[in-house]
Amino acid sequence: FQSKPVAGRHFLQIPGPTNVPDRVLRAMDNPTMDHRGPDFGKMGKALLEKVRHVFKTEGPVVIYPASGTGAWEAALTNTLSPGDRVLMCETGWFAHLWHEMAGRLGIVTDFVKTDWRRGADVAQIEQRLREDKAHAIKAVCVVHNETSTGCTSRIDEVRKAIDAAGHPALLLVDTISSLGSIDYRHDEWGVDVTVAGSQKGLMLPPGLSFNAISAKALKASETAKLPRSFWDWKPMLAANATGYFPYTPATNLLYGLDAAVDMLMEEGLDNVFARHDRHAEATRRAVRHWGFEIQCEEPRHYSSSLTAVRLPDGQSANALRATILEKFNMSLGNGLGQLNDRVFRIGHLGDFGDLQLIGTLGGVEMGLRAAGVPHKAGGVQAAMDYLAGNA
């Protein structure tokens, strides 16, 4: 599918889909088995257990053959009824899309604004919940890592805010670009539904998405009235009890998931998170050295899975990305919504090591020069100095 022949490997440095490791590719490259046969049940049962570790939950995780958007819909339709109120946080483009979806489903939304340069405003969440004396708000929805801005919301603090307000709302969290890259604890943080996708920290191709479900969310699903069929947890959980699915699962992606979870566990989740923290810090040092602003203005909300870089007024981030693709065969993330052409995004999540980071930053620095974007050369050196000093 390449438009012209190019030597060397393409650098896929968008913030997901990410590079799929060879071990995962090899795992998927196996014959598709009978999804009603005995072997499938054994594999399914073991995998559905194992995947819980990544979410840090003891409860059920359901897997849909769908992109992340499907798991958003599943989280809402299984827990809410038409006309229910939810509190959502406008952290960026993905929060905006989830908010639009909620509106289309007939949910009434309160949207807590940000300037897209920080994570969810926890004080605002607490205040809105305190004001809701009648407990009309049924859920709080937060995007953990806002992929459009590179800002990570503090879910532990959101939990504390809900508790401080003494409010019974469910907590629904999108971890599509954080799970398996940034510390996340479904049970400890009292999250009711965690939404995730396969194509980022889980190092798989797109095509699987997830809901981790708390006991409270499961209870809510018994009375929730939004229409649902494909997304319904009930038949899914019933089939999952013996390792099966109510419809044809994405069998080969599940083989890949099995290998990917093994890889994360073998490295150790804490080591995976530290690896991404380190790459993110090295990236920020390069960006500052070049003389650019990081989209995220709140250091406590810096994302470890991607960095969104703001170009100065009069410079086109899209033209820069086009130059980098053309000359160096690297894809970088575009600016979404109000950030179109204003930022470009460097993905440093998933299966990623020091040399890939230096190659990525090298491609950006050469691209800046080739596109004539004024900058101070030496950002790659700044990143290397940090990596070398923090091996």
Indicate if the alpha-carbon torsion angle 196, 197, 202, 208 is positive or negative: positive
β-pairing, 209-213 with 193-197?
A: antiparallel
Candidates 31-39, 63-71, 120-128, 216-224 — which segment interacts with ligand PLP by CB under 6 A?
63-71
The reply on whether position 181 binds ligand PLP by CB under 6 A is no
How many other β-carbons are positioned within 10 Å of the β-carbon of residue 108? Answer: 15
Confirm or reject binding of residue 305 to ligand PLP (CB under 6 A).
no
65 binds ligand PLP (CB under 6 A): no
Distances (CA, A) of 36 to 65, 212, 231, 242: 16, 24, 20, 11
CB of 374 to ligand PLP, least distance (A): 31
CB of 322 to ligand PLP, least distance (A): 21
Q: Which amino acid is at 61?
A: V
User: What are φ and ψ of residue 335, in 5° steps?
Assistant: -80, 135
Q: Work out whether 286 is an interface residue with ligand PLP (CB under 6 A).
A: no
Q: Does 177 bind ligand PLP (CB under 6 A)?
A: yes
Please, are residues 19 and 201 in contact by the beta-carbon 8 Å criterion? Answer: no
Distance of CA 307 to the CA centre of its chain: 13
Residue where the block lists tokens 């949910």: 107
Query: At residue 209, what are phi and psi to the nearest 5 degrees?
Result: -140, 165
Tell me how far, at minimum, the Cβ of 228 lies from ligand PLP, in Å: 17
Q: Contact between 176 and ligand PLP (CB under 6 A)?
A: yes
Structure tokens at 368: 């800046």
Size of interface with ligand PLP, in residues (CB under 6 A): 12
Tell which one of 174, 183, 192, 258 touches ligand PLP (CB under 6 A). 174
* Dihedral sign of CA atoms 113, 118, 124, 126 in order: positive
Is 345 marked as a binding-site residue? yes
What beta strand segments (E) does 57-180 contain? 61-64, 85-90, 108-113, 137-143, 145-146, 151-152, 170-174
Q: How far is the CB of 256 from ligand PLP (least distance, A)?
A: 16
- Which residue's C-beta sits nearest to ligand PLP? 68
Is the Cβ of residue 27 or residue 179 nearer to ligand PLP in the bound state? 179
The region of 61-69, 239-247, 305-313, 378-386 touching ligand PLP under the rule CB under 6 A is 61-69
Q: Does 334 bind ligand PLP (CB under 6 A)?
A: no
Residue with Cβ nearer ligand PLP (224 or 336): 336
Q: How far is the CB of 250 from ligand PLP (least distance, A)?
A: 13
Determine if 94 is a binding residue for ligand PLP (CB under 6 A): yes
Contacting residue, 102, 143, 253, 387, with ligand PLP by CB under 6 A: 143
For residue 307, what are its two tokens?
A: 């960095």
Angstrom distance (rounded) from CA 30 to CA 190: 38
CB 147 within 8 A of CB 306: yes
**Chosen residue from 13, 16, 44, 55 binding ligand PLP by CB under 6 A:** 16
8: left (phi over 0), alpha (psi -120 to 50) or beta: left
CB 294 within 8 A of CB 236: no
Please, what is the minimum distance in Å from the beta carbon of residue 143 to ligand PLP? Answer: 5
Q: Which one-letter DSSP state was computed for residue 350?
A: S
182/320 with CB nearer ligand PLP = 182
Residue 282, exposed/middle/buried by CB under 10 A (0-12, 13-18, 19+)? buried
Q: Which is nearer to ligand PLP, 201 or 362 (CB)?
A: 201
Q: Contact at 8 Å (CB) between 85 and 102?
A: no
Q: Which of 65, 197, 205, 256 lies at the binding interface for ligand PLP (CB under 6 A)?
A: 197
- Spatial separation of the C-alpha atoms in residues 251 and 32, rounded to whole Å: 6
Q: How far is the CB of 174 from ligand PLP (least distance, A)?
A: 5
Would you give the binding string for ligand PLP spanning residues 203-222, x where CB under 6 A is met? ---x----------------
- Binding-site residue set for substrate: 345
Contacts with ligand PLP, residue ranges (CB under 6 A): 16, 67-69, 94, 143, 147, 174, 176-177, 197, 206
- Binding-site residue set: 345
